Amino acid sequence: MTLSERNTFFKVGIVFCAICTLFVIAASFFSIPLYQVKDPGKDGFHQGAEYNLFPGMEYIPDQPDYIPHQDSESNLYQISEFFPYQVTDHVLYQTDLSLRTNYSLHNNERRPVSFIQTFTGLFLGNNYYAVHIAIIFSVLFSLIGMWLIHSFFERTSAPEILYIAIFTISFALEAIRLILPLHLNFNFPSVYVRFASRVLLFSRFFCIFSLFTAGICAAGLEVQKTRNVIFIMIIASLVITLGVPIDVLNWDTSLNMVSGFPSMFRMIELAAFFTTVISFFIAANIRGTKEYTYVAIGIILALVGRNILLNTDNWIGPVPGILMLSFGTWFLCSKLHKIHLWL
């Protein structure tokens, strides 16, 4: 890939990130109001009415609404806290979709799994406002990061920076996570949710593989094979994405859909992480420059920050996550620029 072609890719990436930013802004107007927890004492629960709590079912207009509690023994929905009243899940009707959405969001007990999230989750409950902030941070990081990469590397030939740019662009697709509250709000077909979830899964693995390739490139991969490498990355990401079952009826509290084989994929990410870091240490030894060691440190900070930002569901995560991600990416890019500026 020539320098001109790479710069064109950077510009297209900036435009794409800007579009994703606009999507997040628009989606926020519909998503943020749904994060408020409904108060049963204030939201008009009524005895003797029937409701639809499930997306895709028809509803009868002008019916009052309530948030039920599921009785695990009878498998019926009841408002045991307020009324001795039960309705089966076969005849449920509702008109106010925001109450159904509120129930679906705030009665979800499945929390994301990561080392830091598991620790912080012991002390703090989930908060969808924090998740929304993390998504906004991710998209803004992508937009600002791509603009800075294009500005600093427009005339600098650094083969690794193309893969760092792909890593940066992938964060714009975190906006897809807002498809879940939009789905619960507007009740569009779940097939769109499944497709969006696969796109998000693809972007995350493509992101990991791009950093892995950047490390291999620094360690001695021929630059002339760039297109072939990207094609292999796409195929590998597609194989993983299309082969994973996705449950559109279940999600965790970070607005990530539940997919199959989570442990195996965490092992893939961990293996790619260590391989990438080791590759840059090898590059430092082969090329005889300590700057690649600093790049490896930047990779570590960026990936730890990414893990926090993508899996947090409370207020502890967003700020440390974006700071580590931003500083790590800036640090590794500045060292790459310094390396290739004098070549």
User: Do 89 and 212 have their domain in common?
Assistant: no
67: domain range? 37-107
**So what's the pLDDT on residue 198?**
92
Domain count, the chain: 2
* Tens digits of residue pLDDT in 168-196: 999 999 999 999 889 888 888 888 999 99
Q: How many helices (H) and strands (E) does the chain have?
A: 11, 5
Q: Tell me which of 79, 107, 135 is where a domain ends.
A: 107
**So what's the pLDDT on residue 59?**
37
User: Do 277 and 200 have their domain in common?
Assistant: yes
**So what's the pLDDT on residue 115?**
73
Q: Along the 343 residues of the chain, how does pLDDT read in single tens digits?
A: 788 888 999 999 999 999 999 999 999 999 888 887 654 444 444 433 433 333 433 333 444 444 444 444 433 333 333 333 333 333 333 334 445 555 566 667 777 877 777 777 778 788 889 999 999 999 999 999 999 999 988 888 778 889 999 999 999 999 999 998 898 888 888 889 999 999 999 999 999 999 988 888 887 766 567 778 888 889 999 998 888 888 877 788 888 888 877 888 888 888 989 999 998 998 888 888 888 999 999 999 999 999 999 988 889 999 999 999 999 999 999 988 888 775 5
User: Do 153 and 301 have their domain in common?
Assistant: yes
User: Do 64 and 183 have their domain in common?
Assistant: no
DSSP assignment of 282-293 equals HHHHHHT-THHH
Sign (positive or negative) of CA dihedral 213, 218, 219, 224: positive
Interatomic CA distance for residues 69 and 235, integer angstroms = 45
User: Do 119 and 203 have their domain in common?
Assistant: yes
User: Do 29 and 43 have their domain in common?
Assistant: no
Residue 244 CB-half CA count within 13 A: 27
Write the CATH number for 205: 1.20.1070
Q: Tell me which of 107, 138, 153 is where a domain ends.
A: 107
Q: Read off the tokens for 292.
A: 């690649």
User: Do 80 and 176 have their domain in common?
Assistant: no
User: Do 53 and 174 have their domain in common?
Assistant: no
Name which of 150, 170, 211, 143 is nearest 3 in CA terms.
150
Is the Cβ–Cβ distance between 96 and 60 less than 8 Å? no
User: Do 122 and 19 have their domain in common?
Assistant: yes
SS3 46: coil
DSSP assignment of 12-36 equals HHHHHHHHHHHHHHHHHHHHGGGGS
Q: In one letter, which amino acid is 232?
A: I
Residue 258 dihedral angles phi and psi, to the nearest 5°: -80, 125
User: Do 215 and 303 have their domain in common?
Assistant: yes
